Structure 1
């Protein structure tokens, strides 16, 4: 039956095919692209560098500790008026 011609569509069938074809053409015109050609979304774990934050916090804690020790030393010197002990025999020069 492959080589036999199809009978001509009747009036109502032709209009149905025409309407279906027009619907198809409208859908093709309204179709949106499916390929996302935009920039990739940024990875948060690459932007928020947790190891760098940890190292900086450790560095700041060392600086705070050193500052506290210096402040204690300065306060002790101010309390004792910075007296030096120059009476030790071992610090005197020998001739």
Structure 2
């Protein structure tokens, strides 16, 4: 590859052709840079009332004026405190009282009366359970159980006493039936 200018068409003088081509190219670039677009792509200009937002500024000014007023009030109160002798009445002479205490008290009394009525009804009511029948039924059950069982319940205690009398030993008399049955098992 050589460094000399290579024109697209055959020419007699390469140097002149290079100058003419370069001049033509510069002319083209100047035309391109100076051309205006056919289609407007800049878009709409934003309206001033949307950019400025006056209502927001007004609200912010009002908020700042309220803050300034409060600050001035606080500053005046502080100067009054500094200038005074410092006597502050800090004793509260009033008693706290609930607004619905009477209604709560009435409801409590109503519930109390209702509970008392329920208690009276419960205590005056006769029991539907007959204790005497239960005791008789239990005695019958115990008798049947003792009749059916091979070793009735009271028999072991009776035998322990008979055995101690027959044996005549002091040691066997000192043991109770529960200790004897615990040792045998």
Query: Structure 2-normalised TM-score?
Result: 0.29
Partners of 1:42 and 1:71 in 2: CA distance: 45
* Structure 2 residue aligned with 1:56: 60
| Change over 3 Å in CA distance of 1:38–1:85 after alignment to 2 | closer
Q: How does 1:22-33 map to 2 (within 5 A)?
A: 32-33=36-37
1:40 is displaced (CA, Å) by 2.4
Post-superposition Cα deviations, 1:23-68, rounded to whole Å, max 9, x if no partner, equal xxxxxxx984442012322222101000000000000000000000
Q: Which runs of no fewer than 5 residues in structure 2 stay unpaired?
A: 1-33, 96-185
Partners of 1:31 and 1:55 in 2: CA distance: 48
* Structure 2 residue aligned with 1:66: 70
Bigger relative contact order (CA 8 A; separation at least 6):
1
The higher radius of gyration belongs to: 2
Partners of 2:75 and 2:56 in 1: CA distance: 28
Q: How does 1:7-46 map to 2 (within 5 A)?
A: 32-46=36-50
Question: Which of 77, 91, 94 is matched with 2:93 structurally?
Answer: 91
Equivalent pairs, count? 62
CA RMSD between the two structures: 2.9
1:91 is displaced (CA, Å) by 2.4
Partners of 1:64 and 1:72 in 2: CA distance: 12
* Structure 1 residue aligned with 2:160: none
* Structure 2 residue aligned with 1:78: 82
